[in-house]
Structure 1
Amino acid sequence: MKILLMEDDLLLNEIIEEHLQSKGYDVVSAYSGDEAQDIVYSQTFDLLLLDVNVPNINGFDLLEDLRDKDIKTAAIFITSANMMDDIEKGFKSGCDDYIKKPFELKELDLRIENIKRLYNISPSSHIQIADNILLDKDNLLINKNNERIHIAQKECDVLAYLIKNKNKPVSIDELSLNIWAYEEAPIASTIRTYIKNLRKIIGDEYILNIRGVGYRFNS
């Protein structure tokens, strides 16, 4: 699980980062809103941990901007802005959870586990698609009926994202913004080609074409 941590308190940032790394998470730290924004546009994350009162762009405005651009990465605010108006603003900006400072690291663990459950984020690199179909993300393989089929990295990323958002429509733009680096966004036909290849491998019934919207993974 890859996490972006935006916290401008150097000591707290270090404490949280070391704790999360001890749990096996891949953590990238940012200390200001504009730094976090640049990182989110250049990398893909499973979770955003965002302080609110940071330099340049505050956490509320940052997340609202990301949501406006259809970036739907799960987000938790970690902040001392704990008045009811702050909490309401946080959820309206698009967060999934809100932790008030000070907090126990155990509470953070519990909240992250809940996000993993809600977003189907598996700690394993293996994702079971069906009884006879397994996605191996580490080795870029789809194992179907005991046949090992190699796929490209981006094909793997597209499939994993569709599975994570199963039973919900996902647009071409959403795939582009959530998988590709912002400055390297592919043309729509490239993504359609990846999906066409995946459907040939796992079967059309698993990736449905929603006319005028995009695609939906059918679990």
Structure 2
Amino acid sequence: MKILIAEDDQRFGNLVYQMLLRQNMQVDWVHSGDDALDFIKNELYDVIILDWMMPKKTGLEVCKELREEHYQGGILMLTAKDTVDDLVVGLEAGADDYIVKPFEFKELLARIQSVARRSKVALKEECVKAADLELNRGTKLAKRGTRMIQLTGREFQLLDILMQNYGRVLPKELILDHIWGLESEISPNNLEAFVRLLRKKIDYPGEEELIQNIRGVGYKMEARKIVRSS
């Protein structure tokens, strides 16, 4: 597996770099967002690890620029920001996953492997439908009406499991296990952030709301008309 780390903190970056080398990974380490972009133009990486706060260009800016250029590789964001609003900002920029500092190395390794594995899995091309929403599992593109919806890897996984269980309530624990695995120490804020962003992408004003929050349990996909008082 080939990894690029973009981290300006010398001590922390070196720690991660050395640990990944011990896992027999090929690792490049740069100290700024601009350097990360230069390396990505010339090398193929399984996963890019971006620190949010870096000089010249932040990890957030690098992530957004890559996705705007239709970069399809895995992107994992490192950050000290852990609120749902912060997570949504990063996911909107195109990050596949988040890990909040401080963290255990085994958790970082699990996230790296998950992002890399997902980016290589080729699902057979088939279309899943729920209400007026369609999801192509081959291209990982969603469509609602005439509107095409771009999805990150995690968003695709979340939408896929909800659509395939249309009308069923899925506990949060089941969703977390499906997307991150039982061994992950992921914060509940991550799932909430993904759901919020996915809603923003698939539910436009005037359309039926498709993802329902079942308080204290989890989520389900089911069309619900928005009733507005006159």
Normalising by the smaller structure, the TM-score range is 0.5 to 0.7
Tell me which residue corresponds to 2:96.
Answer: 96
The answer to whether the aligner puts 1:21 opposite 2:21 as a matched pair is yes
Partners of 1:41 and 1:32 lie apart in 2 by 15
Deviation for aligned residue 1:82: 2.2
Partners of 1:3 and 1:113 lie apart in 2 by 11
Q: Deviations over 1:106-131 (max 9, x none)?
A: 1011112212331237xxxxxxxxxx
Partners of 2:39 and 2:113 lie apart in 1 by 24
Residues 73 and 119 in structure 2, CA contact (< 8 A), matched pair in contact too: no
Q: Within 5 A, what are the aligned runs for 1:1-219?
A: 1-120=1-120, 167-168=138-139
| Equivalent residue letter for 2:93 | S
Deviation for aligned residue 1:86: 1.5
* Higher relative contact order (Cα pairs below 8 Å, separated by 6+ residues): 1
Query: 5+ residue gaps in structure 2?
Result: 122-136, 141-230
Q: Deviations over 1:105-164 (max 9, x none)?
A: 01011112212331237xxxxxxxxxxxxxxxxxxxxxxxxxxxxxxxxxxxxxxxxxxx
Query: 5+ residue gaps in structure 1?
Result: 122-165, 170-219
* TM-score normalised by L of structure 2: 0.52
Partners of 1:75 and 1:53 lie apart in 2 by 15
Deviation for aligned residue 1:89: 0.7
Partners of 1:113 and 1:94 lie apart in 2 by 18
Tell me which residue corresponds to 1:206.
Answer: none
2:138 aligned counterpart, secondary structure: coil
* TM-score normalised by L of structure 1: 0.54
